[in-house]
Every structure is written in C-alpha cells, then in structure tokens.
Structure 1
Amino acid sequence: MSWNSLTYFGDSMLLLPSGIIIALFMAWKVTGRLTPWAWLFTFGLTGFIVSVSKLLFLGWGIGSATYDFTGFSGHTTMSATFWPVLMWLLSGGYRRGIHRTMIVIGYLLPVMIGISRVVLQAHSPSEVITGLILGLSASSLFLYAHRHQTVKHFTLPQLAIMLILPIILLSTGHKATTQNMIEQLAAYITGHPPWTRAQLLSELH
C-alpha cells in the first residue's frame, strides 16, 4: 500500500460520514442508550478542536516556529479518534483475544497514517504527534467510559451494510475540502490572505 493510499484512511471525506454510520450502528448494537450521543460528542469535539487550531494559525499566525506547528494534523487526529472505536464496535461480539487484537490494530493504524502525513510532507512531526495525543486520548476516554457496555455480534450481512459506504468512498478516493474551507473562513474573518508555514518559519531567520 502506498503512502497516498494509506493517508486516505484519515481523510474527512471518509471519516465524517463513517463516524455518523458508527453512531447509527451503536444505537442498534450497543446496550447503552447514550453511547451513540457520547460518540458523536467525542468525534465532533475533536474535529472542532482541530479546526480551531488551524483557524488560529491561518487567520492570526498563532503557531510555533520553533516546533514547526501550524495546528493539529486533521488526518492523524480524526483517525486516532475513529479507528480504535470502530474496531471496538466491530469486534465487540467476538471472544476477548480477537476483540483486543482488533482494538490494537485500531490504535496502530492512526500511527501509520500520521507517519504518512510526514512522509508526504503534509504535516510536521509536531503536528502529527500532538494530533495522535489528542485523538488517542479522545478515543481512549470514550472506550474507557463505555468498557462495561455490551456490544452485539455483527452478522456478515450487517457488516456489509455498515461498510458499504466507507468502501465506496475508499474506491473513489475523493478528498475532503475542509482545509480550503477553513482557509476561506480565515480570510473572510481577518480580511487578509491566510498565513502560511513559510511565513511562520521566517521568524527563525
């Protein structure tokens, strides 16, 4: 798998609709009535924090030249929030060994996605590391809070229904335009072009 293919597993075009699908299936498969709402809150809050960090930099240049930080890596943060929870949901009806292995995979995948962002020069190491900390903290808190909930087993038809949209999105490879939207919002609010990484790093010279 190429780095470009791997990085798409953290793209908002895939994760945002998939996050809503997860909530719908939680309402069906998880015993806790508030679990879907807790998930939507966790996922939404994490996305909001990422967006604010990007807006602060693009609009007002709030970042760190020393650490080459312009905001949390969205791909890394949202995948670290999403994948551990998805694996928890899908494997909840299996025996403990399989369940734990799937969750571990859910934790490892965002790390690989984060590495892909650095390799593709889309983000600095600091943006990826802080994104991992934020995203994995969010998913871990969610999983800890719902560790006593019972998750019903998925049949193959149910699994196919749940995964059909994510698979279609993966096959198309269309990327989200969230970064452009935040840039446009920053320009609209401040009345000047968005800040760039080059401008930030120029402070070191």
Structure 2
Amino acid sequence: MHLLTYFGDSMLLLPTAVIIAFLLRWKNDDKRAVWFWLLAFGCAGLVVSLSKIAFLGFGIGSVHFNFTGFSGHSAMSATLWPVMFWLLSGRLSVLWRRVLLIAGYLIPVIVGISRLELNAHSVSEVIAGLVLGFTLSTAFLLSQRTVRPRGFSLAQLCIALLVPVLLFSNGRVATTQQFLQKLSAQIAGIEHPWTRADLLKIKQ
C-alpha cells in the first residue's frame, strides 16, 4: 500500500507537475494550456492546504462525516495523472489514448483506496479529494478537447519520465503534513495542532 500511495505523494507530484508544464509548452499548440494547467494544479494544492489549515489550526471539520480536510494524495493525484497520461498519448491511436486516459483516472482511485487501507484518511476525505481533483483535471482536459498534443519519440519519452522514475525509485516522501501542522498552529496561536482524536471527542 505504501508503494501505491506514493503515486499521490507531493515529493513525486510537484516535480512532475512542473515537467507537465514544460511538456505542454513544448508539445501543445495551445500556449494557454500551460497557464490553465498551473491554475488547475495550483487550485488543488490551495484548496487542500486551506482545508487542512482550517482543521489543524482552528478545529474546523465535521464530526458526522469524520472530515478533517481534503485528502491531499487523492486530490493532487486526481488532478495530475489524467493530464499526464493524456499528454503522453499524443501520437497513439484513439483506442490507446482512451486506454491511457482511463488509466490516468484509475490511478488516483487506487491512491485513495491505499489511503484508506493505511488509515491515513476517512472515506469522506478521500471522496472529497477525488471529486476536487477529477473536477480540475477534467476541466483542463475539456479546455483542450480540440487539441491533440504532439507525440514523443522514445528518447524524448525517457527524458520526460526520468525525474518521476528516479523519484519513485528513491521513495522519499514529502513532509507536507508536518509543515502544515506547524504552520497551522502558528497561525492559530496554539501550542499543538488539532487531531482527529480531538474532533471525535466532540462526538462523545
């Protein structure tokens, strides 16, 4: 499960998002696509971060839904992988482009399931993250529905995937959650950030 959940880790996704921006500039005739992509990915990160700060710093969540903020792994992977697979499938046939696009939508679902198996998030948090990410990635893809990105040669594909593959093989995880915990506590002026246990105590 740790292997699967890494497909949603910021250590892998943030550099890959930057690579996608460069590839869009290089392989896409719609030059606005870069800005659309940065807006979509940035919105996902912003919404996730704000939801976590709201809970960690101020205890804003839902006891009924066991909700402490959007699952970042689910949201960010659902924003990134459909776009990445669409971009890399430019030179393929319609059938294989569809297969890769479906794979791009399935990977975030698997990431979400892995977060549940690892007890990192509740069902509501994973679903909220997937809905957020899929909404943003689908909006981006709809903005590019009349555009077909240019294909990659084998050498170009290897270069494009070099950094993600190296990061994946290294397996180092991001410390985003720890950073947000400290930041939230500082913003709220509290000694310790809120935890899920604190939220569930309200239910008792």
Counterpart in 1 of 2:124?
126
Distance in 1 (alpha carbons) for counterparts of 2:174 and 2:50:
17
- SS of equivalent residue, structure 1 residue 204: coil
1:142 aligns with 2:143: no
Structure 2 counterpart of 1:198:
197
* 1:166 aligned to which of 152, 159, 164: 164
Aligned to 2:202, the other structure's residue is in SS state helix
1:93, CA displacement in angstroms?
Answer: 1.7
By how many angstroms is 1:149 displaced? Answer: 1.2
* Distance (Å, rounded) in 1 between the aligned partners of 2:121 and 2:45: 17
Structure-2 separation of matches of 1:103 and 1:119 = 25
Partner of 1:123, secondary structure, is coil
Deviation per CA, 1:149-176: give whole Å up to 9, x if none. 1210111000000000000100111110
Counterpart Cα distance in 1 of 2:179 and 2:203? 29
TM-score, scaled relative to structure 1 = 0.98
SS at match of 2:31: coil
Instruction: In structure 2, give the amino acid aligned to 1:201.
Output: L
Count of matched residue pairs: 203
Shift in Å at residue 191 of structure 1?
Answer: 1.6
User: How far does residue 10 in structure 1 lie from its aligned partner after superposition?
Assistant: 0.4
Report what 1:19 is aligned to.
17
Question: What secondary structure does 1:32 align onto?
Answer: coil
- SS of 2:148's equivalent? coil
TM-fit CA distance, 1:112:
0.5
Unaligned runs of 5+ in 1: none
Query: For the residues of structure 2 that align with 1:24 and 1:65, how far apart are their CA atoms?
Result: 42
CA drift of 1:189 comes to 1.1
Deviations 1:76-115 (A, max 9, x none): 0000000000000000221100001100000011001000
Report what 1:84 is aligned to. 82
Unaligned 5+ residue runs, structure 2?
Answer: none
For residues 76 and 161 of structure 2, the distance between their equivalents in structure 1, rounded to whole angstroms, comes to 18
Percentage of pairs with the same residue: 51
Q: State the superposition RMSD in angstroms.
A: 0.6
Q: Which residue of 2 aligns with 1:109?
A: 107
CA shift at 1:119, angstroms? Answer: 0.3
Aligned residue in 2 for 1:66? 64
Deviation at 1:35, TM superposition (A): 0.5
Q: 2:8 is matched with which residue?
A: 10
TM-score (norm 2): 0.98
Amino acid aligned to 2:174? A
| Amino acid aligned to 1:140 | T
Equivalent-residue separation in structure 1 for 2:77 and 2:188 (angstroms): 30
CA–CA separation in structure 1 for the residues paired with 2:37 and 2:91: 19
Whichever residue aligns with residue 196 of structure 1, its letter is T
**Counterpart-to-counterpart distance in 2, 1:41 and 1:137:** 13
Provide runs of 4+ in structure 1 moved above 3 Å.
none
